[in-house]
Amino acid sequence: MTCNSKWPEILRELLPSRTAPDRPDLVARVFCAKLEDMKDHIFKKHILCKFGAYVYVIEFQKRGLPHAHFLLIMTPEHKMTNLDHYDKNVCAEIPDPNRYPQMHELVVQHMMHGPCGHLRPSSPCMQSKPKKCRFRYPKQFNDKTMQAEDSYSLYQQRNSGINMNVRGNILDNRWVVLYNSKLLMMFNYHINVEACSSITSVKYVFKYVYKGHDKQVVQIDSEEERVVINEIRRFQDACYVSPPEAIWRIFSFILSQMHPYMMVLQLHLPNKQMSMGKSLNDLDLPMVDANANFQSGEFCEVQEECSIVVEDEHLRPLDSLNSNQKYAYDEIMRHIDEDCPGVFFIDGPRGTVNIFL
């Protein structure tokens, strides 16, 4: 979901001759309101279907406009089990301008890729040698949707004869970015919707959702010929915060959310904690004496750890564990509480990088 700088809610608040980038506060507020509205329609009013879990993050383009990446996981009874379900949720064609004029206009305005390829070789999506579109446009015509093995599905993109002048070139169905017609009609923005049913594509999307901020190593030298390469400085992170992102953070708008809430349990084998290849016993650490005077400063770190107040918010996720997760959690905690050593192996589905309980 990408912010549309031409949303009426933004345009009508701008003074004459001003544009959306002049009002990052307005852009951030309107996008946040639209996002909350969309969440309400998806998660409470179930306009698509019922979702059992979701995760989303907000990102900001270099030019500043915010966008959101969502990963939605359907409840078992709503899983997309046949190709009709795919076609109901994901569209990849230009609607007939006579039968669906408004929808046609929205797709042409927001959901057409390019042009790129031989029509415009200088397009930013043209990469590698020989140059080709990194998003693989134009796609091939497809008479019907096909579910591919361990990758994204191929959607119905028929050679319907409908084509449109988009940014100076005549484009057809092969240039349509996948969308959901309900969401596009309701929110008037660029929203790419895809179904990912195989574990490989789920892993890819999850990684994309958490890929983090774009960062670049930047070094500016006054006299180029005297540059001495400082390898430490090379690793300095330079983070560009755009005005809408700054406003987003100042207003404390949500940057990411996950439901149900999950927590990572760090598990270690006995005496195999991460300590530069040594076990804790090799480090000659002072023994913690239960009767020690913590005020002396000798055990200030221990004291600090002991004085941490665990907030309710961090205890609440415990209630959302399912019965198997709860069993694993209780079993591990029982060993800790009873000071009874144990080794636990927790298996995760193939392809998951982190293990969550």
Q: Which stretch binds Zn ion (CB under 5 A): 37-45, 84-92, 110-118, 327-335?
A: 110-118
Give dist(CA 91, CA 149) in Å, integer.
20
Q: Is 177 in the site for Zn ion (CB under 5 A)?
A: no
Q: Which stretch binds Zn ion (CB under 5 A): 17-25, 66-74, 124-132, 222-230?
A: 124-132
Give dist(CA 53, CA 322) in Å, integer.
13
Whether the CA torsion 286, 289, 290, 291 is positive or negative: it is negative
Tokens for 64, please give them.
Answer: 């500043």
Nearer CB in complex with Zn ion: 35/92: 92
Q: Is 111 in the site for Zn ion (CB under 5 A)?
A: no
Q: Which stretch binds Zn ion (CB under 5 A): 129-137, 158-166, 181-189, 283-291?
A: 129-137
Query: Is 329:321 a contact under the CB 8 Å cutoff?
Result: yes
> What's the closest the beta carbon of residue 169 comes to Zn ion, in angstroms?
12
Q: Is 332 in the site for Zn ion (CB under 5 A)?
A: no
Q: Is 116 in the site for Zn ion (CB under 5 A)?
A: yes
Q: Which of 49, 108, 125, 196 binds Zn ion (CB under 5 A)?
A: 125
Nearer CB in complex with Zn ion: 115/244: 115
> What's the closest the beta carbon of residue 134 comes to Zn ion, in angstroms?
7
Give dist(CA 250, CA 158) in Å, integer.
47
Q: Is 133 in the site for Zn ion (CB under 5 A)?
A: yes
Q: Which of 60, 137, 179, 189 binds Zn ion (CB under 5 A)?
A: 137
Place of tokens 């890929």: 211
Contacts of 307 (CB under 8 A, 6+ apart): none
Tokens for 301, please give them.
Answer: 């770190």
DSSP-assigned letters across all residues of 211-229: -----B-----S-GGG---
Residues that bind Zn ion (CB under 5 A): 114, 116, 125, 133, 137
